[in-house]
Structure 1
Amino acid sequence: MNKTILLNNRPNGKPQESDFKFTNEDTPEVTSGEVLLKTRYVSVDPYMRGRMSDADSYVEPFQLQKPINSGIIAEVIESKNDSFSKGDFVSGMLDWKEYQTNNGNELLKVDADKAPLSAYLGILGMTGLTAYFGLTKIGNPQKGETIVVSGAAGAVGTIVGQIGKILSCRVVGIAGTDEKGEMLKSKFGFDAAINYNTTEDMTKAIADAAPNGVDVYYDNVGGTISDSVHANINRFGRIVVCGAISLYNSTSIPTGPRVEPFLIKKSVLMQGFIIGNYADKFPEGMDKLSQWLKAEKLNFSETIVEGFDNIPNAFLDLFEGKNKGKMIVKV
């Protein structure tokens, strides 16, 4: 049978296992122009929490009692499409199913000989492109400037920090454990790391780690951590708003310091974005990331969970900070 994972309920606050439902269906037959795909790797990402709510956003919400989808690497098991052959590996936004058919229009072939297949969901996929375009196009870091990255031990954060170092900047990472902080410095070359769970005064800790102030803040978390970074921002600083995982499960509108006074006083740019804004520039980003990876200027970290049945739990673990780098499920 063909296992499928559906959205069973819309979460109120933090998602639960009961918000997902497993079903079995027949493996589909391939018709002319289609390929039959077997899921090999599944990406789980914090932004998917927003799609579980029935709210207007930049992407349509998941539908109740319908399959959830995300970035997936799949193997072509059977092909009646001239563009694909049996044994090809492809990436695309696909359903959480063990097997599915596809017309191939939005599939991209990936080469297992050039990089591990899972890398095409991370550093050579949307994760890497998000880090590259957010930092370089909005953050616009200059040599010698200081970059602070929140959620720094996550998939995007680790890549942002490394690009910052390639561009000759001082990079400070904010993460949730001392172990993650040491990983940021030893594996990814960050200059300093702050454990927000054990730091009593985040504003002072950021000031100490960034003695010349913060020129670029790459924000993956929002909330009180970002308030502390904002207090250290330099004149003409740039704030890249990529994510707000600390707020995704809030059931009410949070309040906090108002940003307008310091934005005006220090002439700060604060801009949110989604990766689709840069779709026409994806070849540029892929070329840069591939060059840096080949030159061993980029390293990457993955947390790989085994088994199709563990996809929901891997997603839930994101909100507990259990991942180091990209969270991926190997099927």
Structure 2
Amino acid sequence: MKRVLTLLITLLLATTVIFANASEKVLGIVMPNATHGFLGESIKHARASAEEYAKTNGFQYKFLTSAEASEQNNQLDTLINEKVDCIVLWPHNGNELRSGAMKVMEAGIPLIVYDRLIDNFKPTAEVMGDNFTIGEETGRYLNKYFKEDLAAGKVNIVEFKGDNSTVPQQRSDGFMKTADKNLVVIQQFSTDWQRAKAQEQMETLLNSLKKEEVENIKGVFTHDDEVALGVLDAIMNYNGNAKLNVKLVTGVSGRKENIETFDIIRDQLGIDQVTYLFSPAMVRDAVKMGADILAGKTYSGLYLIPTETIDNSNYKDYMKSEHWKTRYQSGI
């Protein structure tokens, strides 16, 4: 009889644990995969924040990454079938994820879309860096930096975008809104956010243009700090017959790897740099929003994370900021 009672108690406890776990809400997080760079850092921050909020708020989370948009759509189907309670989605490409995102909303699951917008679709809420403002601020910075040159005539620059998503389009649109009419983009490239590809594209450009055309390039507008480093690699490796006159290279992110080169590049190449804060740690805001929804809070609309201009004049102050500590001193 004692053994029977012990067995019944054991079964009861096991059943209680199952019900307790089943009653916990689940947050689904769907992101592109990466092992390095901006996305690699973002994945680490997303995982760390999900773990932190799950322990604090008492929920479970399922973290999924993928190599392409079709795989993300399949992952959304899986999360819908598992009846998770909220999803944070960072789309590979917004338009290719529209059908999957619509299924999430039709299933009654709150959906937070991060970083890349989905055209003609309204999720529960959207969280992203202020890409349009980044473009506007880049235009204003170049206007001021090349003020004397622009007063005298045209200033030729080259633009290195990331991909065909809404992010670089917003940055380009913002730039065109504020840039002086004499700032002329002589060539645009799509880099897939890759340093090596940007380096190859810049090297090909420098070696294919006429001597006077190369010498007339005064600035480079890039959409990412890693891309900016690729451009600088190409400039450092150039051994053609033209005298390079590039004076400014812009970036986006505020990466340690770039900022630590600011004085070095200025001393060695005579090139100034400016970057606009767009940190991998920003994904924590989207994960927190998902955690808040599980706790009963409501969100709607677009939430823009402000940017900050970081150049040779203020980068040392930025490296002492709380944001820098969060990004680089939190075990990530």
Q: TM-score with structure 2 length normalisation?
A: 0.37
Q: TM-score with structure 1 length normalisation?
A: 0.37
Identify the structure with the greater strand proportion.
Answer: 1
Identify the structure with the greater helix proportion.
Answer: 2
| Max Rg structure | 2
